């Protein structure tokens, strides 16, 4: 409508994108149920060894020497530079947690000895850590509880600032973002560790910020514009905030892509989760959170500023 100004008909394809999102969520849930996540050492158990080389070294060479030394299940990745290597060793079920803690130093020395075979580089043991099964289980439970608490706080905040229908739409959109991101990690088999969990919490913050900007414009337009249906006003609000959404998502993605391609394998999961979260979160603010407001039948009356008792009586 000309009265509402130039706008893009986002809601025209709301049903199509809604079907795509429901399908993606169901696939993600199915993968999480049947494939689960490839939990890292933070959530399982095992030993973490960081080795520094005096000269650049190939990860394939390190892996070959570990296998030759009897550490077939060890995983070696570059850590920050081509002279630092991070080695993960799974927990040995035949050894108790107390015994493992007592032999940790000797294990680190044995790994150094295995890697030193036939190498002219000088090796240093920079870090040696052991995560027990009980610690890993507590971290997994605390991480899951943290996500639930974050979603609950967001729902309360949006309900207080806007209206209960907005809170429901916002939380469903956040649930959509988190589940699909986890589903991609499950399907691809990428490792899920504490850095990825931190990225998920960052995704919740980023997505709700983008959603609240859109919601704030929707509320303003509902209150001040006398003409226009909810369908038209939501389209107008999304059109008005589109440039801000593109600029914010684009500049943030530039930084995250720099971490993804230049940050090394130690933050690969973190950067990957953020990259996915920014794209999915931007999409959900438009086609999940805003579309749900239509299905929840938000009206202008829902957003009217309540008149205080006695206010009209005091008017001349």
Give the CATH number, domain containing residue 115. 3.30.70.3400
Query: Does residue 310 lie in a domain region?
Result: no
Residues 21-44: tens digit of each pLDDT: 999 999 999 999 998 887 776 677
Give the CATH number, domain containing residue 174. 1.20.1640.10
Domain that holds residue 101: 46-131
Query: Does residue 312 lie in a domain region?
Result: no
Q: Tell me: do 93 and 60 sit in the same domain.
A: yes
Query: Does residue 154 lie in a domain region?
Result: yes
- Percentage of residues in the chain having pLDDT higher than 70: 84
Q: What is the structure's pLDDT at 80? A: 65
Tokens at 190, concatenated:
């990428």
Number of domains in the chain: 2
Q: What angle (nearest 5°) sits at the alpha carbon of residue 122, between those of residues 119 and 123? A: 95
Band of residue 132 on the pLDDT scale cut at 50, 70, 90: low
Q: How many CB atoms lie within 10 A of CB 251?
A: 10
Q: Tell me: do 278 and 194 sit in the same domain.
A: yes
Instruction: State pTM to two decimals.
Output: 0.75
Mean predicted confidence (pLDDT) in 9-17:
87
81 bridge partner residues: 79
Given a contact cutoff of 8 angstroms between Cβ atoms, the answer to whether 42 and 136 are in contact is: yes
Q: Is the per-residue pLDDT at 233 higher than 80?
A: yes
């Amino acid at each position: 409508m000309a009265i509402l100004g130039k706008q893009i008909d986002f809601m025209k394809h709301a049903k199509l994108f809604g079907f795509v999102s429901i399908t993606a969520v169901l696939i993600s849930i199915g993968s999480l149920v049947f494939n689960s996540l490839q939990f890292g050492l933070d959530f399982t158990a095992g030993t973490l060894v960081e080795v520094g080389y005096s000269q650049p070294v190939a990860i394939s060479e390190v892996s070959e020497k570990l296998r030759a030394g009897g550490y077939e299940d060890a995983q070696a990745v570059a850590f920050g530079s081509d002279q630092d290597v991070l080695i993960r060793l799974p927990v040995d079920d035949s050894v108790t947690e107390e015994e493992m803690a007592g032999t940790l130093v000797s294990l680190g020395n044995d790994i150094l000895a295995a890697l030193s075979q036939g190498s002219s580089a000088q090796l240093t043991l920079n870090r040696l850590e052991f995560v027990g099964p009980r610690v890993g289980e507590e971290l997994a439970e605390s991480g899951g509880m943290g996500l639930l608490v974050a979603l609950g706080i967001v729902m309360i905040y949006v309900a207080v600032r806007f209206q209960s229908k907005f809170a429901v739409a916002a939380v469903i959109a956040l649930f959509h973002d988190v589940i699909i991101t986890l589903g991609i990690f499950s399907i691809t088999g990428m490792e899920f560790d504490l850095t990825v969990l931190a990225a998920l919490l960052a995704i919740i913050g980023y997505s709700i910020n983008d959603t609240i900007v859109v919601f704030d414009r929707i509320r303003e337009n509902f209150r001040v514009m006398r003409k226009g249906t909810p369908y038209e006003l939501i389209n107008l609000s999304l059109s008005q905030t589109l440039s801000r959404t593109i600029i914010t998502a684009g500049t943030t993605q530039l930084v995250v892509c720099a971490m993804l391609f230049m940050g090394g394998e130690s933050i690969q999961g973190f950067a990957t989760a953020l990259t996915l979260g920014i794209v999915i979160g931007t999409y959900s603010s438009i086609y999940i959170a805003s579309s749900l407001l239509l299905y929840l039948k938000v009206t202008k009356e829902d957003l009217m500023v309540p008149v205080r008792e006695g206010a009209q009586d005091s008017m001349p």
